[in-house]
């Protein structure tokens, strides 16, 4: 891609103005655009990514933007890369790519872009002169001695093989030399005629067929320590020096010399040469540094330092080799200085201070189809939703780029679009708007509003197939996702309860090492869980800020806890099933077409309704016209016009002779709504009533009496409306404003109304449980995202607790006649906070509000603040719901890290309700001391300070805290005891049971085996990624889904190793064993012993005996209740042996009887 229309500040930096520019609210796509624009401006660029996941996303985007031809050698490309650099002994697979990149940095064309991960800055690298002089250029027609060349290649680390398929391999067949050299995507075939190099061709490693003729090539070492010239002698001298200083022992030196004598050229650069250098020696002196997630780079460098220290300790412990750490890598402080004194483009995730002194490049991220298409109707008809969006994007200003992994997947997608008359370009044209379909390794999606560009990978534009839910014993779903899963996080084990995650640990049993999840329970109990049983654990999601007690292995508390929760859920399940069953069959009031009076009322709005408002009104009216009762949620940012939707729905109901109840969580909000409704509806003779503590008791009696006679058309109030003395005989519509603020008792009363009447719920940022129910299609959902005209976004800043800065913020607001909300998270200490505020603003009138005040006192304070008798209100989060204070345009949230994401968003919605510029300050004690989840929450809220982001914040809240549920508060004891996910699973199981939908129970078999079955760290280096693949493979719906993941592994990481093939075979076997309700299977070379528990419903003893009798040579029964299966001769390949076993047991699975409970004890 080329030619970006960049913001002026960034364009000036590209033109050489300034040495330091900070970028905020951006992400991988913005980083890639900026870095590539720098390169196109003639600058050398070094882009440093924190780790493997950021690196992969950025490299995919750079390849898309740069248009690099990947068929060219690495040194002829504009961008070169250095992926993760783990502490390990060198091997050709890893160092082949590194040597190509180093060669490109020394000999390649300029300007050059280098993308690397932060861990590359720690280790020492081969000297620049070593790289400069270690290459051989060959051209067709050149004369050379093949034997001499082979000798050099061996000293460069190449190994002779029969067939070449991996980097660093070579094969000689007569006059033909095949070699897989660094820098080329395919191996090379050199054809000699005598001593003349007659032809050079690229060939395909899989088919071994030639692909392309070349005129010249460059051959490089595949080791960082080539054994040519005087380098071996210099290495021996270096080792002698290290021994003489005591940094290495005599045996250590002897071991290294022996490897050198054996001509094994595989040493770490700093151990091989005293002249090894830091990586920045290869950086151009005028390079501009682009720092991705700058605040994370320091930690990643520290982590890399720890990894190198651990590597040295393991070498000494396991191999008795004492190597000096200072020779292998440098200190972390030195590594962090790599970019000091250079021009820098710094991308920051979290920024302190009001004056950010930089540039916002807002970036939206899409992980999957549901991020773009979240409505239930879109989820039900995904293809139609996508086609409609593509049509819309075709006519928009800007570009939408669809990215496909291969030409084949692109062609398949485009074939599905035939007949849709969409104009889609297959090559990028920078000046063209509209749709593009390109081949690029991008899987996720990004939107850059400042560039008017949308980039969508296959994960986003192709909805995932709904996977068949695996029915397990106790309906335990297992871990749901791994992004951000850190050591120390709380997990729930199905059988043992609450534990802390101790990381993914390799563990050796006998001669075999496999991966295990370490779970740390109470009293320092530890459980190592095999990765094939990963579905036995799930993330614990409970109330924020709580620290639940860990369970003890072998204890009884967990079993008692789950039993109590299950009993409590029985009642809820019955109510839930009954409520929705009743709503389906209840005949509600079906409204006709609106009359003339409604259209006159509609024209009195005074503003042009936004498209979102009009759409919401249409959807509400469609629901009201149906015979069954409405249940719709209107989600919209504060002040975006939800009340107008409620007004029109209420007027529509009144017009048909129905009464309306509007329920508010606070008295002030009720009075505000009362005044709004009265102002709009009085001219039409609509009788509005108010019930709250502001209304005198005598007046309340009058209103209640009038309502019971049907004389009140719209009754507005707090939970007073739910009192037993309030009767609305013609009630047709109930409007709930911020329903989540009501207590459990009031919600019970609301359940009664929901069965029979239309219900309209208004909320800005639904709490997760409300949102989950909406998205599941059980309720209608309307979203208002269009801001009203002249509304300005709230300027948001993250600040530390600096008195001078906070005093200035207060002064700025009070000097312009405005008011301030100062929010603190705890009632305790609120008085001290009020004193602190009074000290900062001595002239201000400061009031205090919190939920523990007597109700009348709280109302009095809010009333005084509303009538501008107070300047600053120091309060708890009690102010977050729905109140309208147009004169309050500064918000200060003290200890912001203690609030949930939805709370922070709604608190910010309290300001900016007028045409004045509003400010929100989120105050933290120390940014560095914040836990990662708090940082992420603040990062999201700071990134989303544009208008209309409320619903997206709720989606992020869903990701951050997990999905919720409509039943019971998140703070309820049951959820706190077992975690939200297990609570929901247990509820779903109860609902199925009540409905009579019980299914055959599948077991979670325990497998014992003594062979390698795991994803090796050298194959997938990032532990979080390995964890993700373990989960994806373990929970795959069927064999086809596993094959898709296997293909992805092969595509991203290369040929599948034997240990991964074994793991896949184990999972396939386990799937069958679960169907057979097997409890345990022990796998040995050439045989397997299978055990059942006491209660089995799918295999009878009679069928098992008959099945064994048909296989006297390979199967027999063992007491008690065990089956032994042998295969004729032990398969040389473990995976083939497991396949044989699976095929044998498949025949047993086909002989299932009708389900009946039996005991399977061999007699």
pLDDT digits (tens, 9 = 90+) for 586-622: 777 888 888 888 888 988 887 778 888 888 999 999 9
Q: Which of 491, 526, 528, 486 is nearest to 507 (CA)?
A: 528
CB of 846 closer than 8 Å to CB of 872 = yes
Mean pLDDT of 990-1010: 74
Identify the residue with better confidence: 830 or 901: 830
Q: Any idea where the domains of the chain sit in the sequence?
A: 8-129+278-360, 136-219, 365-461, 586-782, 795-946
- pLDDT tier for residue 2 given thresholds of 50, 70 and 90: very low
> Cα-flanking dihedrals φ and ψ of residue 1009, to 5°?
-150, 155
Residue 137: CB atoms within 10 A of its CB come to 10
Mean pLDDT of 1082-1108: 83
Mean pLDDT of 852-861: 81
Do β-strands 196-203 and 188-193 pair in parallel, antiparallel, or remain unpaired? antiparallel
Residue 843: CB atoms within 10 A of its CB come to 9
Task: Please tell me the distance from the alpha carbon of residue 386 to that of residue 372, in angstroms, as a whole number.
Answer: 9
Q: Which of 446, 345, 249 is nearest to 48 (CA)?
A: 345
- pLDDT tier for residue 38 given thresholds of 50, 70 and 90: very high
Q: Which of 55, 200, 49, 69 is nearest to 118 (CA)?
A: 49
CATH ID of 586-782, from 3.40.50.300, 2.60.120.680, 3.40.1080.10, 3.30.360.10: 3.40.50.300
Opening angle at CA 791, ends 787 and 793, nearest 5: 90
Q: What is the pLDDT of residues 1032-1043, one digit of tens each?
A: 888 776 777 788
Task: Please tell me the distance from the alpha carbon of residue 1019 to that of residue 1059, in angstroms, as a whole number.
Answer: 10
Residue 966: its pLDDT value, please? 39
> Cα-flanking dihedrals φ and ψ of residue 796, to 5°?
-115, 135
DSSP labels, 86-145: -SS---HHHHHHHHHHHHHHHHS-SS-EEEEEGGGGSB-B--HHHHHH--EEEETT-B--
CATH ID of 8-129+278-360, from 3.40.50.300, 3.40.50.11180, 2.40.110.10, 1.10.3720.10: 3.40.50.11180
Q: Please determine, for residue 418, whether its predicted confidence score (pLDDT) is greater than 70.
A: yes
Residue 976: its pLDDT value, please? 66
Mean pLDDT of 784-811: 82
Residue 170: its pLDDT value, please? 94
- pLDDT tier for residue 984 given thresholds of 50, 70 and 90: low
- List the single range of 133-147, 315-329, 507-521, 620-634 with lowest mean pLDDT: 507-521
Identify the residue with better confidence: 695 or 952: 695
Residue 188 forms beta bridges with which residues? 179, 202
- Sequence-distant (≥ 6) Cβ neighbours of residue 719 within 8 angstroms: 663, 665, 742, 743, 746
Residue 962: its pLDDT value, please? 35
Residue 1154: its pLDDT value, please? 38
Q: Does domain 365-461 have CATH number 3.40.980.10?
A: no
- Sequence-distant (≥ 6) Cβ neighbours of residue 860 within 8 angstroms: none
Separation of CA 800 from chain center: 28
Q: Please determine, for residue 766, whether its predicted confidence score (pLDDT) is greater than 60.
A: no
In the chain, what are the helix, strand and coil shares in percent, each to the nearest 5? 40, 20, 40
Query: Does pTM surpass 0.85?
Result: no
- pLDDT tier for residue 954 given thresholds of 50, 70 and 90: low
Region for 174 from its dihedrals, namely left if φ exceeds 0, alpha if ψ lies in -120 to 50, beta otherwise: left
Q: Please determine, for residue 155, whether its predicted confidence score (pLDDT) is greater than 80.
A: yes
Q: Please determine, for residue 1151, whether its predicted confidence score (pLDDT) is greater than 50.
A: yes
Tokens 């005093």 locate to: 807
- List the single range of 141-155, 378-392, 542-556, 625-639 with lowest mean pLDDT: 542-556
Q: What is the pLDDT of residues 812-827, one digit of tens each?
A: 999 999 999 999 988 8
Separation of CA 511 from chain center: 37
Average pLDDT, the chain: 83
> Cα-flanking dihedrals φ and ψ of residue 291, to 5°?
-105, 110
Task: Please tell me the distance from the alpha carbon of residue 74 to that of residue 102, in angstroms, as a whole number.
Answer: 10
Cα-only R_g, the chain: 34
What's the CATH number for 795-946? 3.40.50.300
Tokens of 85: 């650099």
Identify the residue with better confidence: 1053 or 966: 1053
End-to-end CA, the chain: 74
Residue 254: CB atoms within 10 A of its CB come to 12
Task: Please tell me the distance from the alpha carbon of residue 633 to that of residue 709, in angstroms, as a whole number.
Answer: 30
Task: Please tell me the distance from the alpha carbon of residue 667 to that of residue 881, in angstroms, as a whole number.
Answer: 12
Task: Please tell me the distance from the alpha carbon of residue 1047 to that of residue 1039, in angstroms, as a whole number.
Answer: 12
Q: Please determine, for residue 701, whether its predicted confidence score (pLDDT) is greater than 90.
A: yes
Residue 583: its pLDDT value, please? 64
Residue 788: its pLDDT value, please? 67
Tokens of 183: 């820098």
Q: Please determine, for residue 629, whether its predicted confidence score (pLDDT) is greater than 70.
A: yes
Q: Please determine, for residue 22, whether its predicted confidence score (pLDDT) is greater than 50.
A: yes
Task: Please tell me the distance from the alpha carbon of residue 372 to that of residue 981, in angstroms, as a whole number.
Answer: 24
- List the single range of 228-237, 1029-1038, 1054-1063 with lowest mean pLDDT: 1029-1038
- Helix/strand/coil for 580: helix
Residue 862: its pLDDT value, please? 84
Do β-strands 453-456 and 888-893 pair in parallel, antiparallel, or remain unpaired? unpaired
In this chain, the answer to whether the domains covering 365-461 and 586-782 adopt an identical fold is yes
CB of 496 closer than 8 Å to CB of 561 = no
> Cα-flanking dihedrals φ and ψ of residue 977, to 5°?
-80, -40
- List the single range of 333-347, 756-770, 771-785 with lowest mean pLDDT: 771-785
CB of 639 closer than 8 Å to CB of 805 = no
- pLDDT tier for residue 742 given thresholds of 50, 70 and 90: low
Task: Please tell me the distance from the alpha carbon of residue 1106 to that of residue 1094, in angstroms, as a whole number.
Answer: 20
CB of 74 closer than 8 Å to CB of 183 = yes
Q: What is the pLDDT of residues 387-407, one digit of tens each?
A: 989 988 888 888 999 999 888
- pLDDT tier for residue 1132 given thresholds of 50, 70 and 90: low
Residue 778: its pLDDT value, please? 53
Sheet holding 196-203, edge to edge: 159-160, 169-173, 176-179, 188-193, 196-203, 210-214
CATH topology (fold) of 136-219: Penicillin-binding protein 1b fold (3.30.2060)
CB of 804 closer than 8 Å to CB of 840 = no
Task: Please tell me the distance from the alpha carbon of residue 258 to that of residue 8, in angstroms, as a whole number.
Answer: 61
Q: What is the pLDDT of residues 430-469, one digit of tens each?
A: 778 889 999 888 888 999 999 999 999 988 887 654 333 3
How many helices (H) and strands (E) the chain has is answered by: 38, 44
Q: What is the pLDDT of residues 659-677, one digit of tens each?
A: 999 998 878 788 889 989 9
Separation of CA 867 from chain center: 45
What sign results for the dihedral spanned by CA atoms 632, 636, 638, 642? negative
Longest dimension (CA), the chain: 115
Q: Please determine, for residue 134, whether its predicted confidence score (pLDDT) is greater than 90.
A: yes
Q: Please determine, for residue 490, whether its predicted confidence score (pLDDT) is greater than 70.
A: yes
Q: Please determine, for residue 112, whether its predicted confidence score (pLDDT) is greater than 60.
A: yes
Residue 963: its pLDDT value, please? 34
CB of 32 closer than 8 Å to CB of 65 = yes
Residue 49 forms beta bridges with which residues? 117
Q: Which of 262, 242, 264 is nearest to 253 (CA)?
A: 242
CB of 653 closer than 8 Å to CB of 800 = no
Mean pLDDT of 293-311: 87
Sheet holding 659-663, edge to edge: 688-691, 714-717, 659-663, 731-737, 758-763, 631-636, 780-784
Mean pLDDT of 5-20: 90
Mean pLDDT of 159-186: 92
Residue 296: its pLDDT value, please? 83
- Helix/strand/coil for 77: coil
DSSP labels, 261-281: HTT-----HHHH-TT-B-GGG
């Amino acid at each position: 891609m080329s030619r970006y229309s960049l913001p002026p500040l960034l364009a000036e930096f590209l033109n050489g103005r300034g040495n330091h520019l900070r970028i905020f609210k951006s992400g991988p796509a913005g980083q890639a655009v900026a870095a590539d624009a720098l390169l196109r401006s003639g600058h050398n660029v070094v882009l440093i990514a924190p780790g493997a996941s950021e690196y992969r996303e950025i490299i995919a985007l750079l390849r898309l933007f740069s248009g690099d031809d990947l068929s060219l050698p690495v040194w002829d490309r504009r961008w070169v890369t250095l992926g993760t650099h783990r502490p390990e002994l060198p091997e050709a697979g890893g160092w082949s790519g590194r040597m190509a990149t180093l060669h490109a940095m020394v000999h390649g064309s300029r300007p050059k872009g280098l993308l690397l991960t932060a861990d590359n800055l720690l280790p020492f690298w081969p000297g620049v002169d070593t790289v400069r002089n270690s290459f051989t250029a060959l051209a067709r027609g050149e004369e050379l001695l093949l034997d001499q060349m082979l000798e050099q290649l061996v000293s460069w680390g190449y190994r002779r093989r029969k067939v070449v398929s991996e980097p660093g391999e070579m094969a000689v067949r007569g006059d033909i030399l095949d070699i897989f050299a660094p820098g080329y995507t395919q191996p090379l075939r050199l054809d000699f005629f005598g001593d003349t190099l007659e032809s050079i061709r690229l060939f395909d490693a899989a088919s071994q067929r030639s692909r392309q003729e070349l005129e010249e090539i460059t051959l490089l070492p595949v080791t960082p320590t080539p054994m040519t010239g005087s380098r071996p002698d210099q290495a021996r001298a270096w080792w002698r020096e290290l021994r003489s200083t005591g940094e290495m022992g005599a045996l250590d030196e002897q071991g290294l010399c022996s490897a050198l004598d054996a001509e094994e050229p595989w040493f770490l650069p700093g151990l091989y040469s005293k002249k090894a250098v830091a990586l920045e020696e290869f950086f151009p002196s005028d390079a501009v540094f682009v720092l991705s997630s700058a605040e994370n780079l320091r930690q990643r460098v520290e982590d890399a330092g720890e990894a190198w220290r651990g590597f040295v300790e393991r070498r000494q412990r396991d191999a008795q080799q004492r190597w000096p750490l200072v020779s292998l890598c440098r200190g972390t402080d030195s590594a962090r200085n790599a970019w000091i004194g250079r021009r820098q483009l710094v991308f920051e995730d979290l920024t302190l201070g009001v004056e950010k002194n930089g540039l916002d490049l807002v970036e939206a991220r899409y992980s999957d189809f549901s991020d773009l298409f979240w409505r239930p109707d879109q989820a039900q008809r995904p293809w139609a939703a996508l086609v409609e969006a593509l049509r819309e994007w075709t006519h928009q200003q800007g570009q939408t780029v669809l990215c496909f992994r291969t030409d084949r997947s692109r062609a398949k997608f485009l074939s599905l679009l035939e007949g849709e008359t969409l104009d889609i370009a297959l090559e990028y044209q920078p000046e063209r708007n509209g749709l593009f379909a390109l081949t690029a390794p991008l899987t996720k999606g990004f939107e850059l509003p400042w560039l008017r560009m949308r980039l969508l990978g296959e994960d986003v534009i192709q909805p995932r197939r709904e996977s068949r839910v695996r029915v397990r014993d106790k309906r335990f779903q297992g871990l749901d996702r791994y992004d951000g899963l850190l050591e120390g996080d709380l997990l729930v084990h199905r059988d043992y309860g609450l534990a802390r995650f101790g990381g993914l640990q390799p563990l050796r049993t006998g001669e075999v090492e496999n991966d295990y999840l370490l779970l740390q329970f109470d009293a320092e109990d530890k459980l190592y869980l095999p990765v094939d049983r990963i579905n036995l654990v799930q993330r614990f999601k409970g109330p924020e800020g709580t620290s639940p007690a860990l369970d003890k292995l072998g204890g009884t508390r967990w079993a008692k806890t789950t039993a109590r929760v299950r009993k409590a859920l029985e009642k809820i399940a019955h109510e839930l099933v009954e409520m929705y069953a009743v709503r389906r069959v209840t005949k509600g009031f079906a409204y006709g077409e609106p009359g003339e009076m409604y259209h006159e009322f509609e024209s009195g709005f005074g503003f042009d309704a936004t498209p979102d408002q009009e759409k919401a009104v249409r959807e509400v009216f469609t629901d009201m016209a149906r015979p069954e009762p409405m249940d719709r949620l209107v989600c919209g940012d504060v002040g975006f016009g939800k009340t107008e939707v409620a007004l029109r729905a209420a007027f529509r109901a009144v017009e048909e002779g129905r009464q309306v109840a509007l329920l508010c969580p606070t008295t002030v909000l009720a009075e505000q709504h009362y005044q709004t409704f009265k102002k709009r509806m009085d001219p039409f003779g609509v009788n509005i009533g108010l019930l709250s503590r502001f209304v005198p008791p005598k007046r309340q009696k009058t209103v209640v009496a009038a309502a019971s006679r049907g004389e009140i058309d719209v009754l507005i109030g707090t939970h007073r409306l739910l009192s037993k003395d309030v009767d609305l005989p013609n009630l047709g519509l109930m409007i709930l404003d911020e329903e989540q603020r009501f207590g459990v008792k009031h919600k019970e009363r609301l359940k009664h109304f929901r069965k029979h009447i239309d219900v309209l719920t208004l909320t800005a940022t639904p709490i997760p449980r409300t949102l989950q129910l909406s998205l599941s299609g059980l309720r209608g959902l309307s979203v208002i995202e269009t801001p009203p005209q002249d509304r300005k976004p709230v300027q948001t800043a993250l600040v530390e607790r600096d008195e001078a800065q906070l005093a200035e913020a207060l002064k700025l607001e009070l000097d312009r006649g405005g008011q301030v909300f100062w929010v603190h998270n705890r009632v305790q200490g609120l008085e001290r906070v009020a004193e602190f505020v009074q000290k900062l603003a001595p002239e201000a009138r400061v009031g205090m509000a919190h939920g523990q005040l007597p109700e009348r006192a709280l109302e009095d304070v809010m009333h005084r603040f509303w009538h501008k008798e107070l300047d600053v209100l120091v309060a708890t989060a009690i102010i977050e719901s729905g109140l309208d204070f147009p004169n309050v345009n500064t918000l200060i949230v003290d200890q912001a890290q203690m609030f949930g994401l939805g709370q922070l968003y709604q608190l910010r919605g309290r300001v900016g309700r007028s045409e004045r510029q509003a400010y929100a300050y989120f105050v933290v004690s120390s940014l560095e001391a914040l836990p990662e989840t708090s940082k992420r929450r603040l990062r999201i809220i700071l990134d989303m300070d544009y208008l209309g982001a409320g619903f997206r914040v709720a989606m992020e809240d869903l990701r951050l805290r997990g999905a919720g549920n409509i039943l019971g508060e998140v703070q309820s004891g049951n959820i706190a005891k077992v975690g939200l996910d297990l609570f929901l699973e247990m509820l779903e199981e109860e609902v199925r049971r009540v409905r009579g939908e019980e299914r055959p129970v599948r077991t979670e078999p325990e497998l014992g085996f003594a062979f390698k079955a795991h994803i090796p760290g050298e194959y997938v280096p990032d532990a979080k990624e390995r964890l993700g693949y373990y989960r994806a493979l373990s929970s795959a719906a069927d064999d086809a889904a596993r094959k898709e993941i296997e293909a992805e592994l092969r595509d991203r990481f290369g040929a599948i190793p034997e240990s991964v093939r074994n793991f896949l075979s184990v999972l396939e076997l386990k799937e069958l064993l679960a169907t057979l309700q097997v409890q345990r299977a022990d796998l040995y070379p050439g045989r397997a012993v299978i055990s059942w528990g006491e209660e089995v419903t799918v295999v009878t003893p009679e069928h098992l005996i008959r099945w064994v009798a048909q296989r006297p040579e390979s199967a027999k029964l063992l007491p008690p209740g065990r089956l032994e299966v042998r295969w004729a001769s032990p398969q040389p390949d473990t995976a083939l042996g497991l396949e044989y076993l699976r095929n044998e047991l498949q025949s047993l699975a086909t002989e299932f009887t009708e389900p009946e409970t039996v005991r399977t004890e061999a007699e």
